[in-house]
Amino acid sequence: MTLEFARRRAAELCGAGDPHPVGRTSSPRATVVVHLADIEAERLDLDGDPTDAHLILAMLTEGAGFPNGLFRECGVDTARLREDLLDALDVGGATRAAYLRQRQATERRQRAARTRARKPATE
């Protein structure tokens, strides 16, 4: 996946956006992701200041929306991406193991919820 491809695909899916926005705007989902990035930073770092790596981890944790769709479309191995981000943040040992267990449990719950949502209601 190249940056140009990601930009082009984002414009196709979300629209090009206003090149001169007035004020700061964000969607409800973006607000959730930023909040999750704060939580990821607190959970993984002593200083708790979120970085771009925490933001990407938050996108993976949120599990829906454009970024995850783009990751899937481009064949990104999100488990490997998460591992690489933890490496970049120098998270190891028990903290890393606990974090990955929690994320795996969350992903199982999200998959189960999506499966239930797709099943037709029976009378």
pLDDT for residue 84: 92
**pLDDT category of residue 29 using cuts at 50, 70 and 90:** confident
40 Cβ partners below 8 Å, 6+ apart?
50, 54, 57, 58, 61
Closest to 62 measured CA to CA, from 32, 26, 28: 32
67 Cβ partners below 8 Å, 6+ apart?
56, 59
pLDDT, one tens digit per residue, over 32-69 is 888 989 988 888 876 767 888 899 998 888 877 778 88
Closest to 48 measured CA to CA, from 60, 38, 57, 58: 38
Q: Which stretches of 1-123 are DSSP H helices?
A: 3-14, 28-44, 52-62, 65-73, 78-88, 93-118
Look-up of token digits 């956006």:
17
Q: Residue 123: is its pLDDT beyond 80?
A: no
